[in-house]
Amino acid sequence: MSFASQLRRRLFGLVVSMAFMVAIAGSANAQIGSDRYSSIVVDERSGQIISAANADEYRFPASLTKMMTIYMVFEAIRDRQLSFSDAVPVSSWSASMPPTKLGLVPGTTLSVEQAIMGLVTKSANDAAAALGELLGGDEDRFAQLMTTRAHALGMSRTTFRNASGLPDWGQVTTARDLATLARHLIQDFPQYYHYFSTPSFIFHGRFVPNHQAMLRSYAGADGLKTGYTEASGYNVVTSALRGDVRLIGVVMGASNGWERDQHMTALLDQGFMRMGVGSMDVARREPAYRMPSLIGSARAAPVAVPAMAEVPSAPWRRGRRPPARLATSRQVVRPTSSAQRPWASALRQLAVPPRPLAVREPVRAAPRGRYEPKRASGPASSGRYPG
């Protein structure tokens, strides 16, 4: 092949590559600038806002709701009303939750710690509902407690309707409120925050990896949570520590997980630069294998928040099984033999080891009454939508 032919081929390849990159960038920018997009980056210590876009606009939290569920659990454990080893009963209602889930069976139990790990890694809807029933008596009552506590924390534009984040038109929040919740999780429970760094755990012999890809791809990232529904788009709340600076980022409404994580990476990098912190010389870990996609990409119409008197009812309520259309995930058949899953040993070698569990003080017996959250001083929040 002549030199001229080689040059033409290289130029053609360069043009095609540049066109492909421009197309990807254009698509990402179009979605990131859409009506359901919002973001914020704050300094965890001071609460200083480093960047924000639509930070006070109503959005659907999806599974970011589980951050509030975990906050309520941590608070009950700290106040000696619950312990990590306590049994969480599984009802028919909690077991009927659509995926993603641990596959809990009605009439069985799991420990509080197992339920927390299920929420952090698998984003298990059945475990979230079971915790809600344990703390609130039923999930509807627990959602009211969540809303009351959220308002007391300063999340004035947030309303919860369930413990998992499954679709409900009345369940809304904002990027600013979620950043506030992340700050409280880190500052109020430093002894428990390490659970959000868990790369995986074993449940009944099954390997359960963490959905939070930023833990593996972003230097300094150590939590918190991802979320997705068709209405919300792809959401994520990430905390990253570099030197003595910890930033909290929130991205909501991305069109796919890759776009969401890339945008979060850019926002955090920009935030650390503004805080005078350089990049870390840390090798970014790549997953040893690619899990099958659990949920397909979907775009949705802008979030329309109705007037307070016009709140539509939830798409499904207690006593009725959730419709099949809410089960947006498809079941992944897991190989049973070690020969069929050669990635398992490689993953265990590359996975970030979990931090040691905090030494727990002896738990004194406490009366088993219904859990009541602490309220802020002053007039109590109404808890009515939209807050």
Is residue 333 packed enough to be buried (19+ CB in 10 Å), middle (13-18) or exposed (0-12)? exposed
Task: Please state whether 80 falls in left (phi above 0), alpha (psi between -120 and 50) or beta.
Answer: left
Catalytic site residue from 39, 123, 197, 232? 123
Instruction: Give the count of alpha carbons within 13 A of 353, CB side only.
Output: 4
How far, in Å, CA of 43 to CA of 47, rounded? 5
Neighbour-count burial for 118-128, b at 16+ CB within 10 Å, e otherwise? bbbbbbbbbbb
CA angle 274, 276, 279 (to 5 degrees): 95
Give, for 88, the enclosing helix (H) or strand (E): strand 87-89
Q: Which two tokens stand for residue 164?
A: 């998992």
How far, in Å, CA of 194 to CA of 75, rounded? 15
Find, among 152, 141, 161, 210, the residue nearest to 181 by Cα: 152
Catalytic site residue from 66, 101, 122, 225? 66
Can 255 be counted among the known catalytic residues?
Answer: no
Q: How many CB atoms lie within 10 A of CB 114?
A: 22
Q: Which two tokens stand for residue 224?
A: 């918190």
* 3-class SS of residue 49: strand
CB contact at 8 A, 319 and 325 = no
Can 66 be counted among the known catalytic residues?
Answer: yes
How far, in Å, CA of 245 to CA of 85, rounded? 34
How far, in Å, CA of 35 to CA of 50, rounded? 22
Q: Which two tokens stand for residue 77?
A: 């454990």
CA angle 113, 117, 121 (to 5 degrees): 175
Catalytic site residue from 63, 197, 239, 255? 63
Q: Which residues are annotated as catalytic?
A: 63, 66, 123
